[in-house]
Amino acid sequence: MNHLSIKHNIQLTRVMKIALIGYGKMGKAIEAIAVAKGHEIIIRVDVNSQHLLEKEHLEKADVAIEFSTPETAYDNILKCFDANVPVISGTTGWLDKLSEIKSICEQRKQAFLHTTNFSIGVNIFFEVNKRLAELMASQPQYNVWMEEIHHTQKKDAPSGTALTLAEQVMANVTRKTSWTNDYSNEPGTLPIISKRIDPAPGTHIINYTSDIDDITISHTAHSREGFAAGAVVAAEWIKGKTGVFTMREVLF
């Protein structure tokens, strides 16, 4: 067993053939963990290898893991459906089309799992955020604002994770009815401040402030390992299933 095998407490039940759609920072981090777990990467798709998205290639995979770009995720996922391959996607910045792809998945009896954040820590943080927002629903003396910090190559702002956190806040703290990606003093608006500082893999902060005190919760990723490990666990989990899923079903 190598270092990664020991660290991820690997008990391999079945080896999978994986198609990696998007072979950038995340694709490579996923490859390292998947290979350490004994899985085989049979396809690596980047901007120069688009022909590998054709059915004749993709259908050889047991599962596809898609971390590409906001512009390409939708088409990539449709190609997985065409090839009858379950797809795990973490791409952010295209959430306006997410409900459409979920409907197509249901209609075509395919398998699709998307989350804005695959790390176990952030998925626990989502639950903490919801509970804190529930408690803050009846405490109007607290204002709430958020901050997210990522590396300078990130294409989308606010981050997908920040948008998930904001939706959770607004579902409970109903005095906030919309978010804005800047500093705002509008009472009904939830400010999300985006900072781009290398090499930050991903930090999310929720601040509740009142005249009397402040409450802050935060999650800081130390590397991409948590995102990548979560995506591989989701890929192992989805095999043989049909439907639309999130990381909540996998973890809790």
Ligand X SMILES: NC(=O)C1=CN([C@@H]2O[C@H](COP(=O)(O)OP(=O)(O)OC[C@H]3O[C@@H](n4cnc5c(N)ncnc54)[C@H](OP(=O)(O)O)[C@@H]3O)[C@@H](O)[C@H]2O)C=CC1
- Nearer to ligand LZUJQKHR by Cβ, of 116 and 143: the residue is 116
- Whether 154 sits among the annotated catalytic residues: the reply is yes
72 binds ligand X per the rule CB under 6 A: yes
Sheet hosting strand 189-196, strand order edge to edge: 178-180, 189-196, 143-150, 203-209, 214-220
168 binds, among ligand X, ligand LZUJQKHR, none (CB under 5 to 8 A by kind): none
Pick the piece of the chain touching ligand X (CB under 6 A) from 7-15, 65-73, 96-104, 164-172.
65-73
Per the residue annotation, which of 150, 176, 204, 219 is the catalytic one?
150
**CA 81 to CA 223: how far, in whole Å?**
31
Question: Within the chain, how many helices (H) and strands (E) appear?
Answer: 9, 11
25 binds ligand X per the rule CB under 6 A: yes
Q: Tell me which residue has its CB nearest to ligand X.
A: 24
Least distance in angstroms from the C-beta of 50 to ligand X: 6
159 binds ligand LZUJQKHR per the rule CB under 6 A: yes
Judged by CB under 6 A, the chain residues 74 through 133 that form the site for ligand X are 76, 90-93, 115-118
- Chain centroid to CA 236: 16
Helix axes of 225-238 and 120-136: crossing angle, nearest 10 degrees? 100
What torsion do the CA atoms of 104, 110, 116, 121 make, to the nearest 10 degrees? Answer: 150
Tell me: cis bond preceding 187? Omega within 30 of 0 counts. no
Active site residues: 150, 154
- Give the footprint of ligand X on this chain (CB under 6 A): 21-27, 45-48, 50, 67-69, 72, 76, 90-93, 115-118, 160, 227
